[in-house]
Amino acid sequence: MDDNLSWYGQYVRGFKIPPHDQAYQSHGVEPFYQILPNADLDPESSDSFELGLKYASSDISVNVSAFYAAYDDFIDTAVVGVEPTYIPGVNKTLYQYQNISETQISGVEAGIAVYVAENILLEANVAYVDGENKETDQPLTSISPLNGSVLLSTELGNINWTAAWRLAKSQSQTAIKLHKGMATVLLIYTQTTSGKHGSLM
């Protein structure tokens, strides 16, 4: 490999104690949903591996990687009930964080950053992720199978302008069929020496 090209690999042993709000607090948005506490949550542990390839020069950088993680007692949300509300035709969904004894998450990710003009930087990344509940052999509904972003930034005087477009594909599994959708967000913001201002479109 030349000086601009390199590969890397890493192993991480993870451990996560359930956050206080997931274990002991009830919260939500009335009358649409409520997240119930679960004081019986166990800590989550994981073993993760990543292998990647990087290329970097004065005007472009590229990164491609693949990853795999195995979890014990993975903390995920589950629907535990539905209640009628005072609004006709609107039900409140009850969620709770629960442990899944064994899960696996794997995927690939790619990113690029390149100067398309002298002071215009284009950054883009995309990731495909597969999460599986090994108890049921069903997809993890909390994992977005496809997500990415595109950022375009430039500097005019003492003002930095950035436009960011983010997308994520949602996935929810029921006993009958698989529902999928795509959510996108466009964010435009500026930054000066005195602070940052943003607007959501």
pLDDT digits (tens, 9 = 90+) for 5-18: 999 999 999 999 99
Give tens-digit pLDDT for 98-143.
999 999 999 999 999 999 988 899 999 999 999 999 999 999 988 8
pLDDT band at 200 (very low <50, low <70, confident <90, very high): very low
Answer yes or no: is pLDDT of 172 > 80: no
Instruction: Report the chain's mean pLDDT, rounded to a whole number.
Output: 86
User: Domain spanning 5-200 has what CATH number?
Assistant: 2.40.170.20
Q: How confident is the model at residue 160, as a pLDDT? A: 85
> Who contacts 149 (Cβ-Cβ below 8 Å, separation ≥6)?
123, 124, 125, 164, 165, 166, 167
How large a percentage of the chain has pLDDT more than 70?
84
Give tens-digit pLDDT for 86-102.
999 999 999 999 999 99
Query: Residue 20 — φ and ψ, nearest 5°?
Result: -60, -40
- Residue of higher predicted confidence among 92 and 187: 92
Nearest Cα to Cα of residue 187 among 198, 172, 196: 198
Give CA–CA dist 49/100, Å, rounded: 20
Q: How confident is the model at residue 189, as a pLDDT? A: 64
